[in-house]
Structure 1
């Protein structure tokens, strides 16, 4: 039996493994390394976060992205190209000497004392501690009335890396955030007749270098949990206005037709086209619709958690979608931890980004290391 199983090999999973490795904990890291960043996102686009805030985490901060730049002579620019971030993550994994089992988890069950994790190959591992460090891949969200359109006419931005198939097609991108602007820009470059439709009155561009917003997220990573439940709920209730990285402005402004302040109230299929009806009475027809409508985190959507285990996990009383976590990122089920987006309701918005990595790693792995040492001393 291993001391720890980490599920998910993205930035959070790699960093958790680096901390576990440094502490001498036995662990299994399950996942396809950086698969979401490498295979499910357009590589011709950029990381919106300033390079100053995108480092993965090892205990002594020896392998930051700045050290990667020095070691490889790859310059860091803002915005940072996605392939550079992916290359950095693989360099980080190599430098920290972490072990990765390139296999997805198929099932996680709990017998009241320990967890059994079964991989897609059928191989099994047991441990008293499991960290769920997966990202957004299970949570793409298409709201009504868009969700009533057939799959042949609508798709989510998740997983879209090549827009060449849209050449010559009239395409609507629905959304006001980063993924909407990226999709619209790439569709335009691919030769699609693209229109951008969103509910807000105007685009909300972030500051040019994202330094202020990046630092705010870092600062909030350890502060948010200390707020009262009432304060946290007040924060989550506030309208969250989607923002777009400033560097995307020249890719879209003056090139793509925008329809701000547009509320879609109905969708239909007519003459083999998707017809969108708006609250002002207007209608527009498209060959394809791309929903850049974000993600809705829901622990129930994790396909590998067994129904019995899911039933045990206490969810927050407001959305009933997030696990309730303590200061160590542990759920009410002993030994079951969550890092990344699934931790964001308890620990704050920083954990939907790379900004929360170090706080999660130091909290979880330090606790497990102390627990293991205490047990060893008692034997």
Structure 2
């Protein structure tokens, strides 16, 4: 089977691109289980950390913002509060799929290789399909980062993205390594499950957002000017990231990487503070030096701010150590193809249409953050990426049809 465009991935970015392509009448096929990362690799009881107004997929037609969907199903919604439960966000994504990407092929792509006239896709059942152009819209699952000192320690070590529920850890001694929101989410879920949890953070503190003041008045125009609201959070740095991704792309690669690495650092939801700080052992300023696996446990060599080393035994270690986008971690990319791509760090260098140095191969989502900035790591980034990619692809297809007809 042949199509003009293939979209690999059916999370917020893949579904948004596919919906935009459908509105433009493009010959496109989309592959992958819908909302898989959100449905399978995040704590089941989680609340979205992004503001509700910044948590919509980008449809290209009216009626499909998160707010409009919530009103349709009778769910409470506010642009900022209340926070959106993960389950409702997943239901929203599935409804979006049903209405706007009804022909989604839920099979996984296992290999993508270049051909003389585009690309060949091998699906999980062995079927082969071809497309002239491909949009890679994978989520963060492939990019899970585990510290080298904990790599290869089998079933005693896992990543936060490996867990949706935590009941199996009831009564167990579990160390959570990390200081960001994933570490706090996992620790809170472990506390609720009855685990003996320890949060081990290299940072000197665990930062939390301030709880909203229900009696606070709307900020004055001067306050809004000093601290503008954006889909990434308040402040001018966030506004620049949201409003000027093309300017970001013009910056030197080293500066881009530094901004992506350091902007929007680890901050956790205020509503989890009491659960974590009261229910878990929280240690900050901790350095992890080594690990060894025992017959029924794992021991970690730790040092604190005083420099003293100690060994602590746990039944399991969960690495809430984030995600690092890398071409080398996308398992279906042909190795020669991946090695030949121009890069910024480990991410693909993209032109203004999100096209890589391999003609006809596009990347959106976290893999595009090295070119367009932190905006592409968040759902709100679909508002910029999906229309641009889809309009560029549709225009190219239209010109091709005109040439063929002539």
CA contact (8 A) 2:12 2:379 kept: yes
Does residue 1:344 correspond to 2:369, yes or no?
yes
CA distance in structure 1 between the aligned counterparts of 2:112 and 2:101, rounded to whole angstroms: 26
Query: What residue number does 1:312 align with?
Result: 340
Structure 2 CA distance for partners of 1:233 and 1:303, relative to 1, 3 Å: closer
Does residue 1:366 correspond to 2:391, yes or no?
yes
* Equivalent pairs, count: 375
CA distance in structure 2 between the aligned counterparts of 1:83 and 1:236, rounded to whole angstroms: 29
Query: What residue number does 2:331 align with?
Result: 303
Query: What residue number does 2:245 align with?
Result: 224
CA contact (8 A) 2:188 2:276 kept: yes
**What TM-score results when the alignment is normalised by the length of structure 2?**
0.87
CA contact (8 A) 2:133 2:360 kept: yes
Summarize the alignment of residues 2-151 of structure 1 with structure 2, pairs less than 5 Å apart: 2-76=3-77, 77-147=81-151, 150-151=153-154
Please report how far the alpha carbon of residue 294 of structure 1 lies from its aligned counterpart in structure 2 after TM superposition: 1.0
Helix, strand or coil: the match of 2:104? coil
Please report how far the alpha carbon of residue 207 of structure 1 lies from its aligned counterpart in structure 2 after TM superposition: 4.4
CA distance in structure 2 between the aligned counterparts of 1:109 and 1:24, rounded to whole angstroms: 26
Helix, strand or coil: the match of 1:108? strand
Partner deviation per Cα, 1:30-53 (whole Å, 9 max, x = no partner): 000111111222221111111111
CA distance in structure 1 between the aligned counterparts of 2:60 and 2:231, rounded to whole angstroms: 24
Query: What residue number does 1:165 align with?
Result: 168
Please report how far the alpha carbon of residue 145 of structure 1 lies from its aligned counterpart in structure 2 after TM superposition: 1.9
Helix, strand or coil: the match of 1:364? helix
Summarize the alignment of residues 229-248 of structure 1 with structure 2, pairs less than 5 Å apart: 229-230=251-252, 231-236=255-260, 238=262, 241-248=265-272
CA distance in structure 2 between the aligned counterparts of 1:84 and 1:237, rounded to whole angstroms: 30
Structure 2 CA distance for partners of 1:50 and 1:151, relative to 1, 3 Å: same
Please report how far the alpha carbon of residue 112 of structure 1 lies from its aligned counterpart in structure 2 after TM superposition: 3.8
CA distance in structure 2 between the aligned counterparts of 1:246 and 1:211, rounded to whole angstroms: 19
In structure 1, runs of 5+ residues without a counterpart are none
CA-based RMSD? 2.1
Match of 2:279 among 245, 255, 261: 255
Please report how far the alpha carbon of residue 229 of structure 1 lies from its aligned counterpart in structure 2 after TM superposition: 3.0
Helix, strand or coil: the match of 1:80? coil
CA contact (8 A) 2:14 2:30 kept: yes
Query: What residue number does 1:323 align with?
Result: 348
Partner deviation per Cα, 1:215-253 (whole Å, 9 max, x = no partner): 565752451331333342452464863111222213212
Query: What residue number does 2:315 align with?
Result: 287
Mean Cα deviation higher: 340-349 or 96-105: 96-105
Please report how far the alpha carbon of residue 170 of structure 1 lies from its aligned counterpart in structure 2 after TM superposition: 1.2
CA contact (8 A) 1:199 1:263 kept: yes
CA distance in structure 2 between the aligned counterparts of 1:80 and 1:128, rounded to whole angstroms: 38
CA contact (8 A) 1:188 1:194 kept: yes
Helix, strand or coil: the match of 2:161? coil
Structure 2 CA distance for partners of 1:288 and 1:242, relative to 1, 3 Å: same
Please report how far the alpha carbon of residue 111 of structure 1 lies from its aligned counterpart in structure 2 after TM superposition: 1.9
Partner deviation per Cα, 1:190-212 (whole Å, 9 max, x = no partner): 11111111011111113446965
Partner deviation per Cα, 1:27-86 (whole Å, 9 max, x = no partner): 110000111111222221111111111000012343101110121111225321100001
Mean Cα deviation higher: 1-10 or 266-275: 266-275
CA distance in structure 2 between the aligned counterparts of 1:143 and 1:10, rounded to whole angstroms: 26
Partner deviation per Cα, 1:128-173 (whole Å, 9 max, x = no partner): 110000011112111132225x223211111201212211111111
**What TM-score results when the alignment is normalised by the length of structure 1?**
0.93
In structure 2, runs of 5+ residues without a counterpart are 213-227
Does residue 1:176 correspond to 2:198, yes or no?
no
